[in-house]
Amino acid sequence: MPGIGVITNPKAKKNIKRPWIRDSLQRIVGDSGWVYETRSIDELPALAYEFIEKGIDILAVNGGDGTTHATLTNFIPVYRDKGMPLPKLLSLKGGTMNTISKSIKHKGRGEGILTSVVQKYKEGKEIQHIRQPVLKINEKYGFMWGYGIAGNFLEHYYKGTVLGRWQAFKVAARLISSAVFQTSMAKEVFGIHPTVMEVDGHVMEMPDCRAIVVCSIKEVGLGVKLAYRAYEKPGHVHIRGTTLSPIK
């Protein structure tokens, strides 16, 4: 019998403080589906095959952007090999920034979102959804990808013990100070990364590349709408790159 399949990542930021979340989600789903707690990415391909066998209609992910990207990366090839369409994707916002949900204005808490969807599913009511393009970068799938400055900034951001706007502000402040005094942090973050990128068969060479961001959603985190043209043309993505440096 078809149903709702929920994947919950106990290592996601919000879930670490909620060891009981799996049981809570299972109570909400009831006999309308299944809840799986995954502790390793290696478990995902087998889960994809199980979801196909069960005829899952809705794939709910209780984790952050990283969990969603890992799930898509492991599920899409399995579903494609079986000639099956991917279930509708539902984010339960269990991560730190939950950028994907924020970009599409998906409001509410995870348990509340799932409760609403389960109720409509049981009653056979229409569940509102949108068509969201997915990126394929090499063999990984997701909604946003960053290289150079973007990735370097996030490396410093995730070193913080408490993540959020305050941590982003502290990293930005340290970067500004480093740029002013020409210390190693700014040179590392804003360094040159020679790049050759192929997009749909078109090769782009950027020997002085400092940053590239590719997104199918507007936000890249913390409310920053760097890919503001992502929804401008259906089926397309927004690519931004620069060779400019804020330091000399």
Q: What is the pLDDT of residues 81-99, one digit of tens each?
A: 999 999 999 999 888 778 8
The side-by-side arrangement of strands in the sheet containing 33-37 is: 33-37, 3-8, 56-62, 88-91
pLDDT of residue 201: 86
Query: What pTM did the predictor assign?
Result: 0.85
Mean pLDDT to the nearest integer, 221-234 = 83
pLDDT of residue 246: 67
- The share of the chain scoring above pLDDT 70, in percent, equals 98
> Are residues 144 and 135 in contact, defined by beta-carbon separation less than 8 angstroms?
yes
Q: Residue 248 pLDDT more than 60?
A: no
Confidence of residue 117 (pLDDT cuts 50, 70, 90): very high
Q: Which helix (H) or strand (E) holds 171?
A: helix 165-181
